[in-house]
Amino acid sequence: MTTARIRSFFRLGLVAALCLPLQAALAQPKIDDEEKPWEEAQWAPPASFQLDKLRTFRLEQTTTMEFGIEPSTLQVGSDGVIRYVFVARSASGALNVLYEGMRCQTAETRIYARWDPSSGWRQSTGNSDASWQPLSFRGATRRQMFMARAGLCDGPTPNNPPSRMLDELQRGKPDIR
């Protein structure tokens, strides 16, 4: 074998050796570093709920209102949103029934619909109801903030399973601020 031929085989081997890592890298599945934007799942208020099945809890010691969630409606969606039927009952028996959602990851809440005994669910359309609102200890989302801290959320994640959420809401936390 001539020297030129040996050099030629050597160069060919060198080129092949250098191309192997490139070929391996190209064969790897492409990893999408960009996270897809969050998209809310389709939702609909429950067709029915039972007021006699409410799991009631106290949020503040100074109120005479009774608060509750209907357990069969409490779910965590594929989009990470906790959805539930919330009921507030006054001492005189007046009811306020809402279908709500909570995103622990972003500390936001929204009211999807309000229930009227004569006409059923009515989708919320007001700006403060229809859009996601930040949780706060002050203002319109105060109650939902207490609920998030008292049992619905475990930091930025839902406090799964729903039975644990309800248990912790009922048990209450001594200082949820």
- Give the end-to-end CA distance of the chain in Å, rounded to a whole number: 85
* pLDDT attached to residue 27: 52
pLDDT at 172: 78
What tens digit of pLDDT does each residue of 10-41 get?
A: 454 444 444 444 455 445 555 555 778 989 99
Q: Which two tokens stand for residue 8?
A: 């030629």
Residue type, 177: R
pLDDT digits (tens, 9 = 90+) for 142-160: 999 999 999 999 999 999 9
Q: Give residue 77's pLDDT.
A: 96
Return mean pLDDT, the chain. 82
Query: Where are the chain's structural domains?
Result: 51-171
pLDDT for 50-78, tens place per residue? 999 999 998 776 778 889 999 999 999 99
**Cβ atoms 146, 176 nearer than 8 A:** yes
Q: Tell me the three-class secondary structure of 36-82, residue by residue.
A: CCCCCCCCCCCCCCCHHHCEEECCCCCCCCEEEECHHHCEECCCCEE
Structure tokens given for 12: 């060919």
Residue 171: how many other CB atoms lie within 10 Å: 10
The whole-model pTM stands at 0.76
Encode pLDDT of 87-138 as tens digits.
Answer: 999 989 899 999 999 999 999 999 999 999 899 999 987 655 568 999 999 9
